[in-house]
């Protein structure tokens, strides 16, 4: 087969402060930079992204790949009209020239553009208009996809991740190749059914390393194999204010009645578990005090997730609530040099540290007070005397369970210390999801007593094996840990804000 391949990755927090413009996709930041044509296959073929998994499986099967464009940008507010139209023009324009037997798209599933609420549905509809109604069109989706009616209508089949942290990106891409082979050999469309879950699921409750999510996906995979229905459960990204935000169970298969019954069975199980989708959240001072008490009795680090400033969910990774709490508790004085926070996005402070050089001590202001989802402002910058311990150009190869084979470009970066607390300052945004993101500025995570990670769940894949305890803190920031606290205006009727 000749397969047209392309990708568009963005997770949109419509309550966040900063949009994703075209330069954000050109640079990629925590994603590979925009690429087109053969360069896309070269750049993505070895990655742990779905596109990487699909490319490798397609080549194993002897298929010919016809690359178009791949574009990804870090989660943020809306994708600008200009950025979306540039990406769509590349992909739809290339598809319109034909010469292939099927399409594979590497999509996120939770993108909202300035002018289009359902960005992936819009892209799929445009592709269908270009290639016709019968050409097989397969897509992979993130576990946090907000699956819409248009996405289900225009894709021949879709398959979503089954892990959070997302350690099965490449496996999902390979699964899409297997689905395409099934669909191709069948020679006629599958039946599709979907059921929406009537409540939003907070991000921190979605981790498949915990229950009930872990059990749900184990049973889903087993039922998928036994029933012959190709099942997915997209938990949704609960910060996109449009009418189809939220969790959806969907499936594809040859027998309409079996597809319907199987999807309904999975969805009803999730609904019956409603009381178990709870989460324990701590204020910053309480989180630090509890972490210090736990660290005193452990030879492994305690990890605190700064979840409401997670750049993987649309925040800018620049708030200081946890840093203030660490200083107030004297965390660095108790464990000098063994308390670390990362990554703090502050290009100006990083530049000043570079100008001063390693070993310099200087008065510095780090972090930013930002407007939060509830209209209040986060804590003020931290001002004080910092020592510059390390410098980097911010090009960091990654080797973790989620990220192996990838490289992030964080720009001029600096490891600085204040009152025994080490802070990683960076000029690009990326959540703390890999041990290498501490190591590149001289911090060995396993040797620390206390780590503060600007992340919600993804960090668990790399950090859970080295941590004695993991706590989740809710310092003021742009990404609400509790979706019910967001000022929703357009959420669909009948969708509850809490489980």
pLDDT of residue 373: 87
Could you list the pLDDT tens digit for every one of the 499 residues in the chain?
999 999 999 999 999 989 999 999 999 877 899 999 999 999 999 999 999 999 999 999 999 999 999 999 999 999 999 999 999 999 999 999 999 999 999 999 999 999 999 999 999 999 999 999 999 999 999 999 999 999 999 999 999 999 999 999 999 999 999 999 999 999 999 999 999 999 999 999 999 999 999 999 999 999 999 999 999 999 999 999 999 999 999 999 999 999 999 999 999 999 999 999 988 899 999 999 999 999 999 999 999 999 999 999 989 999 999 999 999 999 999 999 999 999 999 999 999 999 999 999 999 999 999 999 888 999 999 999 999 999 999 999 999 999 888 899 999 999 999 999 999 999 999 999 999 999 999 999 999 999 999 999 999 999 999 999 999 999 999 999 999 999 999 999 999 999 9
pTM of the model: 0.92
pLDDT of residue 30: 79
pLDDT in tens, 1-51: 999 999 999 999 999 989 999 999 999 877 899 999 999 999 999 999 999
E-strand ranges in 309-435 read 339-345, 361-366, 382-392, 395-397, 407-409, 413-418, 421-426
Which contacts qualify for 80-84: CB closer than 8 Å, 24 or more apart? 80/19, 80/20, 80/21, 80/22, 80/113, 80/114, 81/113, 81/114, 81/115, 82/21, 82/22, 83/20, 83/21, 83/22, 83/24, 83/25, 83/113, 84/111, 84/113, 84/114, 84/115, 84/116, 84/119
Cα separation of 149 and 276, whole Å? 28
Cα separation of 275 and 123, whole Å? 37
> How many Cα atoms occupy the beta-carbon half-sphere of 141 within 13 Å?
31
Cα separation of 360 and 48, whole Å? 39
pLDDT of residue 28: 85
Tell me how crowded residue 489 is: count the other CB atoms within 10 A of its CB: 8
Residue 294: asked if its preceding bond is cis (omega within 30°), the reply is no
Nearest to 5 by CA among 166, 120, 139: 139
Cβ density class 415-447: b for 16+ within 10 Å, e for less: bbbbebbbbbbbbbbbbbbbbbbbebbebebee
pLDDT of residue 117: 98
Secondary structure tally for the chain: helices H, strands E: 15, 19
Cα separation of 219 and 273, whole Å? 13
Nearest to 168 by CA among 330, 49, 337: 49
Cα separation of 233 and 243, whole Å? 19
Percentage of the chain exceeding pLDDT 90? 96
pLDDT of residue 268: 97
Nearest to 86 by CA among 101, 74, 68, 103: 68
DSSP lists the bridge partners of residue 107 as: 8
Looking at residue 156, the DSSP 8-state letter turns out to be: S
pLDDT of residue 145: 98
pLDDT in tens, 70-129: 999 999 999 999 999 999 999 999 999 999 999 999 999 999 999 999 999 999 999 999
pLDDT of residue 35: 97
pLDDT of residue 301: 98
């Amino acid at each position: 087969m000749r397969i047209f391949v392309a990708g568009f990755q963005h997770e949109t927090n419509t309550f966040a402060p900063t949009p994703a413009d075209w330069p954000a996709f050109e640079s990629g930041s925590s994603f590979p930079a925009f690429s087109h044509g053969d360069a896309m296959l070269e750049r993505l073929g070895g990655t742990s992204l779905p596109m990487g998994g699909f490319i490798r499986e397609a080549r194993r099967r002897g298929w010919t790949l016809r690359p178009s464009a791949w574009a990804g940008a870090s989660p943020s507010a809306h994708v600008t009209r200009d950025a979306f139209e540039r990406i769509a023009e590349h992909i739809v324009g290339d598809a319109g020239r034909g010469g292939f037997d099927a399409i594979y798209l590497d999509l996120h599933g939770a993108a909202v553009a300035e002018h289009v609420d359902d960005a992936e549905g819009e892209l799929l509809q445009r592709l269908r208009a270009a290639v016709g109604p019968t050409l097989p069109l397969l897509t992979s989706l993130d576990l946090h996809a907000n699956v819409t009616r248009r996405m289900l209508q225009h894709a021949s089949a879709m398959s979503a991740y089954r892990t959070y942290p997302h350690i099965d990106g490449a496996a999902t891409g390979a699964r899409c190749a297997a689905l395409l082979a099934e669909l191709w050999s069948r020679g006629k469309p599958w039946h599709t059914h979907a059921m929406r879950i009537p409540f939003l699921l907070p991000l921190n409750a979605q981790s498949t390393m915990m229950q009930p999510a872990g059990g749900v996906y184990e049973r889903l995979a087993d039922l998928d194999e036994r029933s012959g229905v190709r099942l997915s459960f997209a938990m949704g990204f609960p910060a996109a204010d449009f009418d189809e935000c939220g969790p959806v169970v969907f499936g594809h298969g040859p027998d309409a009645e079996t597809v319907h019954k199987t999807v309904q069975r999975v969805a009803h199980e999730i609904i019956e578990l409603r009381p178990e989708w709870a989460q324990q959240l701590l204020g910053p001072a309480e989180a630090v005090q509890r972490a210090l008490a736990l660290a005193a009795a452990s030879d492994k680090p305690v990890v605190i997730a700064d979840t409401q400033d997670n750049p993987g969910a649309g925040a800018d990774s620049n708030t200081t609530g946890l840093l203030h709490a660490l200083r107030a508790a004297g965390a660095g004085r108790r464990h000098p040099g063994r308390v670390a926070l990362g990554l703090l996005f502050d290009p100006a402070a990083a530049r000043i540290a570079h100008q001063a050089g390693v070993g310099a001590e200087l008065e510095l202001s780090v972090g930013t007070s930002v407007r939060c989802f509830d209209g209040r402002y986060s804590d003020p910058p931290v001002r004080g005397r910092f020592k510059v311990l390390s410098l980097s150009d911010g090009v960091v190869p990654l080797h973790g369970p989620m990220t192996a084979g990838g490289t992030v470009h964080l720009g001029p970066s600096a490891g600085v210390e204040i009152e025994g607390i080490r802070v990683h300052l960076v000029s690009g945004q990326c959540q703390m999801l890999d041990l290498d993101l501490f190591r590149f500025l001289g911090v060995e995570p396993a040797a620390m007593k206390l780590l503060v990670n600007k992340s919600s769940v993804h960090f668990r894949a790399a950090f859970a094996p080295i941590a004695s305890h993991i706590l989740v803190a809710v310092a003021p920031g742009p990404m609400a840990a509790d979706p019910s606290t967001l000022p929703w205006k357009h959420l669909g009727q009948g969708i509850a804000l809490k489980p």
